[in-house]
Chains A and B, each alone.
With several copies, the nearest count.
Chain A
Amino acid sequence: MKQLPKQITRFIAGDAQADRIVPPTGYTAELTIFAAAVMAFLAIFSLALSSSMGRLADRWSDELAQSLTVRISAPAEQMDAQTSAALNVLNTTPGIASARAFTDEEQQALLAPWFGANVQIDALPIPRLIEVIEDDGSLDINGLRLRLQAEAPGAQVDDHARWRGPLVASANRLRLVGWMAILLIALTTAAIITLAANAALAANRQVIFVLRQVGARDAYIAMAFVRRFTLRALTGSAIGTALAVIFMIVLPSGAAGNGLLTDFGFTGGGWLLAVLLPFFVAGVAFSATNAAARRMLRSLT
């Protein structure tokens, strides 16, 4: 294990002379670098999309948690009694984290759009509003309605704010699409690199034949090709990743607010993934080329 870093250094530094035995493979080289770059670019973008959508879904879910309102319409003298009865019911209902009556100031603020800021709220027969915060999805709204009807006849449950539910579902689905795209891109990268490595090896059959003929061992021949392809894949995907990151940074960040993509990009974990991506691609290239080289070698004596 202590040898590993040395091995890696040697792998990257390579043996300048041994390297020369593999011809510059021209188009397959460009193909590998290019494909690795594009795939890394697309992967980073999908990752950012997934990650943004994930955060959006989380935020909207949080807002949804406060989406239930109970409205008590009752004659002024019964108002307080019914309010505390309703609060009682709510605080003993499973699935509800907390329930709290709005203060007069809060009610006034809510109504401002309709009446203007200078309305005298006490002069109006305004219902009392109770803000309910759910704690998970387990709240049984119909059961709650029945219990409230019994305890506080003037109480009405209003979940009109639930309209954001489908939005959350959509954001979650976009996140899923993002992850699927990443998976697809990873598979494609592996496949393209494998095919490119195979194509290069097939094109270099003569080289491999000559090397075997003059007494080269399989490991020596395979390593020469593997090094080439791994370094190419690493280079390509590093370029693609860097371009994608730069692109995301300079992408105009749009209007502030709760927009969909105003915070398009990564959080900490995403950055880590972005840094690891080129090494992942290099790893794929390493094993693909190694397998292809061994297979080709076995077909020659």
Chain B
Amino acid sequence: MIELENVAYSYGGGELLSNVSLSIQPGSFHFLTGPSGSGKTTFLKMLYGELIATAGHVRLGGIDTRSMSRDQIALTRRSIGMVPQDTQFLDHLRLVENISLPLLVSGRDTGSAQTNLDDLLRWVGLTNHANAYPPELSGGERQRAALARAVIMSPSVILADEPTGNVDWEMSQRLLTLLVELNRLGKTILIATHDLTLIRAAKAQVQARVLRIAERRLHLAGADL
């Protein structure tokens, strides 16, 4: 469960987000939209402990991120899968190793996740690139790899920041299907995107709420989307 209470964020200048209150229920499906530079990425980073709200409270599992120790944040992240907007990998490791990195750093056995990993690679269309190094991947391939890395641990929350910005329409439908499936398995999903057609396609498959950032506030978009 993710709760925001009167949250504000500022990078030092004026406030980018003000007075945001929201409660994200387990198993829910949310989209986050808003113009470029409105604060979508900033918002996701707060749900992830990468940024700490400058005012108000962001609670993950009931604990305010502001009062979490560094180790607590690390542990919390193991139950949150994050697809960042600018995907970064360990360039000296092969794609499979990068995708199983969350298992490695949390001390889990990577062997037992093998079938899981194979299925996942097939679904995101990277089976042929399993042994490539990240700099050898195309932009869309990197984005798909980041999604695979985010879900490999079967986290209870998945945050995705423009996960389809670099892939074609067909592939974005495939990725959406994967996220919808995970949502049916009870995972909480939050996708930041500027792609309204993606949102419309999702709404046909799942009950999704659309949040919009406008003028520093978070609004709930109507059914007109």
Instruction: Please determine if A and B sit in direct contact within the complex, based on CB atoms under 8 angstroms apart.
Output: yes
Interface-facing stretch out of A20-28, A269-277, A281-289? A20-28
Q: Are B73 and A21 in contact (CB under 8 A)?
A: no
In the complex, the chain B residue whose C-beta lies closest to that of A20 is B93
Contact partners of A138 in chain B: CB under 8 A: none
B106 within 8 Å of A (CB atoms): yes
A18 within 8 Å of B (CB atoms): yes
In the complex, the chain B residue whose C-beta lies closest to that of A24 is B92
B78 within 8 Å of A (CB atoms): yes
Contact partners of A211 in chain B: CB under 8 A: 90, 101, 105
B75 within 8 Å of A (CB atoms): yes
Interface of A: prevailing SS: helix
CB-CB under 8 A for A218 and B74, given A20-B97, A301-B50: yes
Q: Are A213 and B84 in contact (CB under 8 A)?
A: yes
CB-CB under 8 A for A21 and B71, given A206-B88, A213-B77, A215-B78: no
Interface size class of chain A, counting residues whose CB lies under 8 Å from the partner chain:
20 to 34
0 or 1 for each of A77-107: is its CB under 8 Å from B? (1 = yes): 0000000000000000000000000000000
0 or 1 for each of A191-207: is its CB under 8 Å from B? (1 = yes): 00000000000000011
A184 within 8 Å of B (CB atoms): no
**Which residue in B74, B92, B93, B97 is a CB contact (below 8 Å) of A216?**
B74
A164 within 8 Å of B (CB atoms): no
B51 within 8 Å of A (CB atoms): yes
CB-CB under 8 A for A217 and B74, given A21-B90, A301-B49, A301-B51: yes
Q: Are B104 and A23 in contact (CB under 8 A)?
A: no
Contact partners of A207 in chain B: CB under 8 A: 90
The answer for the CA separation of A230 and B57 in the assembled complex, in Å, is 42
| Residue of A18, A23, A212, A217 most packed against chain B (CB within 10 A) | A217
Contact partners of A217 in chain B: CB under 8 A: 70-71, 74-75, 105
Shortest CB distance A290–B (Å): 15
CB-CB under 8 A for A214 and B49, given A23-B92, A24-B92, A209-B88: no
B39 within 8 Å of A (CB atoms): no
Contact partners of B93 in chain A: CB under 8 A: 20-21
Contact partners of B49 in chain A: CB under 8 A: 301
Shortest CB distance A158–B (Å): 76
Shortest CB distance B52–A (Å): 8
B89 within 8 Å of A (CB atoms): yes
**Interface on A for B, CB 8 Å cutoff?**
17-18, 20-21, 23-24, 206-207, 209-218, 220, 297, 301
Please list 8 pairs of residues, one from A and one from B, whose beta carbons are closer than 8 Å in the complex, sorted by A's number: A206-B91, A210-B88, A210-B89, A210-B90, A215-B77, A217-B71, A301-B50, A301-B73
